[in-house]
Amino acid sequence: MKGIITKTTGSWYEVQLADGDKWRCRVKGKLRLKESPTTNPIAVGDWVEFEPEMGDKQGIIMGVEPRKNYVVRQSPHKRWQLHLIAANLDQAIVVVTLKQPAIKLGFIDRFLLTTASYRIPTIIVFNKADIYDEFDLEFYEQVREMYEKAGYSTLLVSAQTRQGLDELRELLKDRLTLISGHSGVGKSSLINCIQPHLSLTTGEISNHTEKGQHTTTFAEMFSLDFGGQIIDTPGIKELAFANMTAQDVAHNFVEIFETGKNCRFANCMHQNEPFCAVKTAVENGEIGESRYQNYLVILDEIAEQDYIKRQKNW
């Protein structure tokens, strides 16, 4: 039998069949032990083959179909290992807000880097529009322009006033969408507005830290009654890139890559090289200053990781 993984909780996997029926499956031992570059062999969005077992709608997963794409993050416990977040996506949404909690452009750029290796279309959704004052709106315009110039779509919404929710719904229709973003930005609230029957738990923001509580622990896929599915992810706090080379990073900051084709030196990394088209574009405001700075920060991190790996002979 064949189905799609809708939920993973440690050793159990929820598999949904074409007719909507859900089965509880385990993974065949061999599949789990098979050398895998990731800490988990299967993720939400994977298509799997399974054999029914004794018991009510229980099965054993025998194999995973090739993935059209996937997103990973570093394992929280093992620095050099990757953890599969989701597979076979049509698009990804990163939900942000200008305040409560404050926007972190570094996180946006890191998330865009994780989806760029497979060129998964990624949309930046600015939530909580209802609490933006005129200064926030001015800053929002700048940020929006910067990302649109880089080639990304953006959307301004509010789960509170329902502003922009028709557009969001249209965006989700008939597609498999990964929804990500820091905890507290309003992911679950937005999903609840669009599909009230899901009634996902939403967290109150503590005034103390301005950080949301972690109310979602596992990535989970939900079907939308108007067509399509979404994957709600636990608040991803940090994204690091031990798996990438400096060239990968240069390749996957999409506008830097495009502009970089005009650099004098073909192997220009846009750091200190002369006649660098990227640096010129940053000076002219065609590439966002924060985009460029975050690019440099990530290159530094990778140089440091490579240094450690060499020291330890990995």
Ligand X SMILES: Nc1nc2c(ncn2[C@@H]2O[C@H](COP(=O)(O)OP(=O)(O)O)[C@@H](O)[C@H]2O)c(=O)[nH]1
Residue list 176-235, contact with Mg ion (CB under 5 A): 187-188, 216
Instruction: Select 6 or 188, whichever has its Cβ closest to ligand X.
Output: 188
Give the integer Cα–Cα distance in Å for 23 and 5. 10
C-alpha R_g of the chain? 21
Which of Mg ion, ligand X, Zn ion, none does 278 bind, CB closer than 5 to 8 A by kind? Zn ion
Which of ligand X, Mg ion, Zn ion, none does 229 bind, CB closer than 5 to 8 A by kind? none
**Residue among 109, 124, 121, 119 at smallest CA distance from 241:** 109
Give the integer Cα–Cα distance in Å for 25 and 58. 6
The structure tokens listed for 44 are 């939400």
Choice from 8, 127, 195, 233 touching ligand X (CB under 6 A) = 127
Give the integer Cα–Cα distance in Å for 179 and 187. 7
Shortest Cβ 262–Zn ion spacing (Å): 8
For ligand X, which stretch binds (CB under 6 A), given 4-12, 105-113, 128-136, 240-248? 128-136
The structure tokens listed for 257 are 């890559």
Choice from 202, 229, 259, 305 touching ligand X (CB under 6 A) = 202
**Is residue 184 involved in binding ligand X (CB under 6 A)?**
yes
Query: 């006033």: which residue's tokens?
Result: 161
The Cβ of residue 1 has, within 10 Å, a number of other Cβ atoms equal to 15
For ligand X, which stretch binds (CB under 6 A), given 25-33, 137-145, 182-190, 276-284? 182-190
Q: 47-52 and 58-64 as β-strands: parallel, antiparallel, unpaired?
A: antiparallel
Residues within the interface to ligand X (CB under 6 A): 127-128, 130-131, 158-160, 181, 183-189, 202-205, 212, 215, 235
Residues within the interface to Zn ion (CB under 5 A): 263, 268, 270, 276, 278
